[in-house]
């Protein structure tokens, strides 16, 4: 995808340095950050400089390659093992993170020495990133036929190209439909507490010239009742083997509303997001984040400076679960790079 005419991926690697679009400052400032240690890369994942299933996975893969490239001495394998544990601990719900770490660790374990491990880990991390970008484009191809000319699509959080290496999951069908000449507009939930819909989805759609409107999270049901939403497409951070889906907090209530108003509800995700070892959504760990994310907000002031302000009562605390789980029964279909399947038919797309 392009920013001001220049093509970018969300994350990439140059030498032993992981480079990424720093999503903390969007849409107010477009910044590339360089991460030259595993600790810095872990911080970027944990503190959401990078976020989104595929982008987190690619970053985790690059972090493991980075660990081998920076490894030294007889204890290099212990250094890599420590790095793997550090990366695994950053975002417990994100399946693509674990998928990427295990893939790179596997090729490192098969390597005879550090030099071989460095080459193998770098190649595997790049393969993970390339596969993510390709899978997301295929998700767009598979999902675009679901979007009729004139369709109004509701999204939640950001599952566009910023959430993956390129193209995205939930927005990829929108991009493909628009580029095929179909009129499509998007209603983007703001997605409190971090506002990924208002900040990131809206920024992407504006860059693509796609009509859109940001709405408060609790406005979607009214628009559904009025007949102003034709379908819902969301992303996923982990899919259980039975088709239950963990995604950004607030997804479950959108699925419930869509079922009530008989509006198609789809989840878009590459097959790397499916956790075949997790039988149901009840086994998916739900990350609880800093309450300050709920109690405060970021934005630009009159002088254009990015500032953080408290919006809640000064003496109050907050709860901040980052995800919820939507039962398979509420999902009309899962859009993958291998086609659209019913949640109960996930085995059809198993690698």
Q: What pLDDT is recorded for position 102?
A: 97
Write out the catalytic residue numbers.
Answer: 237
Inform me whether the pLDDT recorded for 159 exceeds 90.
yes
- Phi and psi at residue 284, to the nearest 5°: -80, 125
From residue 36, give the alpha-carbon distance in Å to each of 33, 150, 162. Answer: 10, 46, 21
From residue 307, give the alpha-carbon distance in Å to each of 48, 247, 255, 299, 341. Answer: 17, 28, 34, 6, 44
Inform me whether the pLDDT recorded for 93 exceeds 80.
yes
pTM equals 0.94
Coil/strand/helix, residue 322: coil
pLDDT category of residue 343 using cuts at 50, 70 and 90:
very high
Q: Which of 327, 317, 333, 225 is nearest to 281 (CA)?
A: 327
Q: What pLDDT is recorded for position 214?
A: 98
What's the CATH fold of domain 140-349? Rossmann fold (3.40.50)
**DSSP letter assigned to residue 18:** E
Q: What pLDDT is recorded for position 66?
A: 98
Q: Which of 216, 143, 227 is nearest to 182 (CA)?
A: 143
pLDDT category of residue 351 using cuts at 50, 70 and 90:
confident
- The full set of domain ranges for the chain reads 2-137, 140-349
Superfamily of domain 2-137: translation initiation factor eif-2b, domain 1 (1.20.120.420)
Beta strands 17-21; 2-3: pairing state = unpaired
| CA separation for the pair 128, 163 (Å, rounded) | 15
Give per-residue pLDDT as tens, 166-204: 999 999 999 999 999 999 999 999 999 999 999 999 999
């Amino acid at each position: 995808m392009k920013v001001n005419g220049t093509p970018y991926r969300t994350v990439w690697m140059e030498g032993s340095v992981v480079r990424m679009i720093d999503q903390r400052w969007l849409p107010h400032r477009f910044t590339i950050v360089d991460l030259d240690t595993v600790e810095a890369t872990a911080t970027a994942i944990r503190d959401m400089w990078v976020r989104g299933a595929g982008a987190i996975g690619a970053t985790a893969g690059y972090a493991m390659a980075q660990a081998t490239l920076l490894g030294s001495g007889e204890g290099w394998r212990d250094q890599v093992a420590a790095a793997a544990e550090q990366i695994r601990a950053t975002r417990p719900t994100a399946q693509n993170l674990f998928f990427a770490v295990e893939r790179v660790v596997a090729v490192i374990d098969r390597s005879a020495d550090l030099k071989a491990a460095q080459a193998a880990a770098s190649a595997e991390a790049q393969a993970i990133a390339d596969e993510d970008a390709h899978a997301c484009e295929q998700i767009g191809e598979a999902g675009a036929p679901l979007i009729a000319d004139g369709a109004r699509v509701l999204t939640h959080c950001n599952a566009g190209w910023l959430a993956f290496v390129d193209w995205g999951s939930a927005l990829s069908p929108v991009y493909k439909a628009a580029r095929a000449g179909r009129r499509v507009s998007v209603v983007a939930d703001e997605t409190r507490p971090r506002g990924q819909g208002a900040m990131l989805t809206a920024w992407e759609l504006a860059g693509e010239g796609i009509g859109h409107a940001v709405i408060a999270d609790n406005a979607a049901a009214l628009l559904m009742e009025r007949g102003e939403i034709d379908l819902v497409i969301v992303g996923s951070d982990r899919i259980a083997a039975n088709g239950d889906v963990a995604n950004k907090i607030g997804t479950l209530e959108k699925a419930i509303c869509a079922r009530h108003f008989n509006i198609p509800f789809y989840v878009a995700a590459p097959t790397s997001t499916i956790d075949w070892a997790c039988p149901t959504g009840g086994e998916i760990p739900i990350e609880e984040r800093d309450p300050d994310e709920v109690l405060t907000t970021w934005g630009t002031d009159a002088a254009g400076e990015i500032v953080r302000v408290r919006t809640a009562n000064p003496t109050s605390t907050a709860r901040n679960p980052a995800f919820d789980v939507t039962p398979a029964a509420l999902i009309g279909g899962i859009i993958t790079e291998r086609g659209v399947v019913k949640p109960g038919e996930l085995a059809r797309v198993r690698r």
